[in-house]
Structures are given as structure tokens and as C-alpha cells.
Amino acid sequence: MTGRRRFLLGLGALAGVGAGASQAQSGYDRQILAADTDAAIENASLREWAAAKGLVYGAATQEYMLSSNPQFASSFVRECAMLVPEDELKWKSLRPSPNRFDFTRSDRLAQFAKTHNLLFRGHTLLWHARLPSWFKSTVNHRNARQIMLEHITKVAGHYAGQMHSWDVVNEAVFPEDGRSDSLRITPWLRFLGSDYLDIAFRAAFAADPQALLVYNDYGMEYDTPKDEAKRTAVLKLLERLRSQGTPVQALGIQAHLWGGETRFNPSQLRAFLKDVASLGLKILITELDVTDKHLPSDIHLRDRLVAGVYQDYLSVVLDEPAVIAVITWGLSDRYTWLSQKQARRDGGAVRPLPLDANMRRKEAWKAIARAFKQATPL
Ligand code: G3I
């Protein structure tokens, strides 16, 4: 690892609110000056900086955001090489009734991706959340397998050959539920047992053998007992699935990061990524964003602290050759789930993403571009 990269590491860790703020500010400025000139970095888009290293940069979005905001749509096409529907491919959106599939909004996103030469990625074929209202009264032990197989076959089949990758199963590990296999107690587990993941992956593979099949989850980023338990449990699950020949081909690490969180241990994360790679799996960073609710209200300082978190995290994960893509969960602060779910106490607008609400590139954008620029080519 170049001395420079060793130097860059730990900037985010200085993001502890309050005490290190001024140090962080000067440290971050020093890094900018040392790294390169902003002007040069802005001569290319995130998709181009990533592509130069054989990586894919993309973002999640929703159909209404692209159709109602041309400025956002053009920023999306400029910056992204991949589009992920934020909500349109979930059961609630696709299944208005037990016997109906409605691909209207997801097809519009697929068409947008095709028109603008973007890779298209599916999220998610099987999840315990965002299930339709009819699910509870309709699905039971007798029909769960048939209903799950019908859904996966129909949805993955509908986009067969168009998908870069599918999150086949999302968030199935939850050690807090207390099971020896650390699986989350979901309707799918209750009705089908722990084999439901294998059944789902085999059905997805049969319906679209070209798509990269991904197991996607969160809470694997920090040096905390909770995240360590999650990493261990996810690794155990992947080992089990691989050992029984389940066609899982990649791990999706959501990476919903926290500004001000100092329990970040680069060597621990490196070791985890290496363990995942040693199973022959690819790795995608699938839902990257930085919650800024605990950061100072000063926008100039807050943006630098958020950028430091992106810089720190990406400078570790992009060292792992198995990492093939980085996807942010949104592109502009105008459209982010964090506005509702992690609102700031001071009432200020959240600023977790690369572009601000007016599609201007922020410090976070520059930090991501630099991380790609400094990444080891694949
Ligand atoms: O589509 C309806 C719209 O018709 C209605 O007017 C509006 C107001 O109620 O709700 C709209 O649905 C919302 C949907 O997002 C689309 O915007 C749902 O209420 C809302 O619950 C849903 O939230 C999404 C959430 O997943 C649940 O699917 C968030 O946008 C999305 O960012 C979030 O993403 C998840 C990933 O899938 C998995 N990992 C965590 C991540 C964040 O929670």
C-alpha cells in the first residue's frame, strides 16, 4: 500500500464530533492539497473515474425522481454507470394482488437504463420487509414455496439477460433473533426453514443464469461487537451456501455509514473482505451513504466530515480486488431515505450523498472520485 494511502487512512476516524473537528478540517484540507487539484478531479464523472480502474459506480433511484426532474436525470446519466431501483422491484411494488404482477414502474426504469446505456441491477427478489398487504392472509406453510418460486421465476425471468446482478435474498442474517445459525426469523424462514435461501438462489439462477447472484446485508462496517457478530454470521452463511453448491456468487455490503462513528478498524474490515473473497465471491458495495445527523450543523465542516467517512471507507474496500462495484443509495441529497429515517435534530436538511439538492458536486463527490482515482486497477 502506497505511503500516501497509508497517510489518507484515518481521516474519517478524526470525524469524532466536537473534539477532533478542527483537526479533521485541517487534516482534510491538507489531504486535498496533497492529493490533487479539484479542477482536474472534476474533469471526469464518477462513472469514468471508476471505469478507469475497472470498477462500476452506480446509484439507487426511483422512477418518479427521473421522470419528474430532468436536471436530476441528466446528472444521473452523467455520473452513473448502473441504476438500481430503490423500491420498484420489491414485492409491495410488483405484487398488487396474489395473482398479479405490475412491472409498470420497474419497466420504465429498465427502459431508462437501456436508453442511457446503464447497467441495471435488481433489488430484491426476497426480503422480509416491503411485503404486500395480502401476504399475511394469503401465504402459509402449504403454499409459501410455490408462491416464492413463482415470484422469483416470473420477476427474474421478466428481466432475464438485462440484469447485471440481483440481490436474491436481502437481510436474512440477524444474530439478535438468537438462532444458532443467526438467521433472521422471517415469514420465509418460518414457512420454509433455513433451506429457503438455497431454494431462492437456485430459482434465480434457473430464471436468469447470466445475472450475478448476490446475498445482500447491512451492519458489517464497524469495530463493534454487533457488527463483528454480523460479519461472523454472514461469513458462516456464505460458507454453508457455497459448500452445498448454492449459486450465490457475490456478497452485497450495504454500507450505510455514520458520520462521527470512530469505531472504524481498517485492518479488521480488510480481513473480512479477504475472507469473503477467499470463498470465490465477488463483493459489491450496494447502498453506500453517510448519515450526518450527529455532525455539526455548519455545512462546510459537515460536508468535509462526511467526505472523510467516504474517503476512509473506500480507501479500504477498493484495495480488495474482489470488490467490483460501488453503489450509493441515492445520488443527490434531494432524494434520500435519510431525510425521514435519520433526520437532524437541528432541523437542517441532511447531506449524505455525492450531489447536493441542486445537483452540485460536494466534498463527498470529490472524496469518492479520488478514492476511485487512487484505487488499485482491477
Ligand atoms: O410508493 C409509495 C407512494 O405511492 C406513497 O404516496 C408514499 C407515501 O406513503 O409511499 C411510497 O412508498 C414508499 C417507498 O419507499 C417509495 O418511496 C414507502 O412508504 C417507503 O417505506 C419506502 O421506503 C423505502 C424502504 O427501503 C422500504 O422499501 C426507502 O425508500 C428505501 O430507501 C429503503 O431502502 C432499504 C433497502 O431496500 C434495504 N436496505 C436498507 C434501505 C434503507 O432502509
What is the sign, positive or negative, of the torsion defined by CA atoms of 61, 67, 71, 74?
positive
Confidence (pLDDT) at 376: 86
Share of the chain above pLDDT 70, in %: 90
Cell digits of residue 252: 452485497
Q: Is 61 exposed, middle or buried (0-12, 13-18, 19+ CB in 10 A)?
A: buried
Distance in Å, CA 185 to ligand 1 centroid: 22
Residues lining ligand 1, judged by CB closer than 6 Å?
Answer: 62, 86-87, 90, 130, 170, 218, 254, 287, 337
Asked if pLDDT for residue 19 goes beyond 50, the answer is no
Task: Please give the angle made by the CA atoms of 264, 265 and 268, to the nearest 5 degrees.
Answer: 135
Best CA proximity match to 148, nearest among 194, 97, 200, 198? 200
Q: Which atom of ligand 1 is nearest to the CA of 254?
A: 39
The atom number, within ligand 1, closest to the CA of 92 reads 28
How far apart CA 169 and CA 159 sit, in angstroms, is: 17
Q: What is the DSSP letter of 173?
A: B
The per-residue DSSP string of 280-313 comes to T-EEEEEEEEEE-TTS-S-HHHHHHHHHHHHHHH
Whether 306 and 297 have beta carbons less than 8 Å apart is answered as no
In DSSP terms, which residues pair with 57 in a beta bridge? 326
Output the average pLDDT for the chain: 92
Does the active-site annotation cover 287?
A: yes
CA 337 / ligand 1 centre spacing (Å): 7
Mutate which of 61, 65, 87 for ligand 1? The one with the most ligand atoms within 8 Å of its CB, which is 87
What pLDDT digit, counting tens, does each position of 41-80 carry? 999 999 999 999 999 999 999 999 999 999 999 999 999 9
pLDDT of 31 > 90? The answer is: no
Per-residue pLDDT reduced to its tens digit, 144-178: 999 999 999 999 999 999 999 999 999 999 999 99
| Cβ-contact 332, 72 below 8 angstroms | yes
221 a catalytic residue? no
Residue with CA nearest ligand 1 atom 25: 87
| Minimum CA distance residue for ligand 1 atom 32 | 337
Q: What b-and-e string marks burial along 260-299, b requiring 16 or more CB atoms within 10 Å of the CB?
A: bbeebbbebbeebbeebbeeebbbbbbbbbbbbbbbbeee
Residue 160 CB neighbours (<10 A): 14
pLDDT of residue 378: 81
Spatial CA neighbour of 80 closest among 309, 327, 324, 367: 327
What's the pTM?
0.92
* Residue-wise burial string across 181-211, b where 16 or more C-beta atoms lie within 10 A, e elsewhere: ebbbebbbbebbeeebbbbbbbbbbebbeeb
Task: Assign 40 a pLDDT band (cuts: 50, 70, 90).
Answer: confident
Query: Rounded to an integer, what distance in angstroms lies between the CA atom of residue 51 and that of residue 98?
Result: 42
What Å distances lie between residue 213 and 195, 202, 363, CA to CA? 17, 10, 33
The model's pLDDT over 303-356, given as tens digits with 9 standing for 90+, comes to 999 999 999 999 999 999 999 999 999 999 999 999 999 999 999 999 999 999
What are the angstrom distances between the C-alpha of 302 and each of 23, 24, 206, 256, 326? 13, 11, 47, 17, 22
In the numeric block, which cell numbers belong to residue 206? 434457473
Residue 28's pLDDT is what? 52
Which ranges of 14-126 does DSSP label H, i.e. alpha helix?
21-35, 38-41, 46-51, 63-68, 70-79, 91-94, 104-115
301 pLDDT above the threshold of 50: yes
170-217: per-residue pLDDT in tens? 999 999 999 999 999 999 999 999 999 999 999 999 999 999 999 999
Q: How far is the CA of 87 from the centre of ligand 1 (A)?
A: 6
Question: Which letter does DSSP use for residue 348 in this model?
Answer: P
pLDDT of residue 17: 42
> Which member of 171, 221, 261, 363 is catalytic?
171
User: Distance between CA 173 and CA 234 in Å, rounded?
Assistant: 7
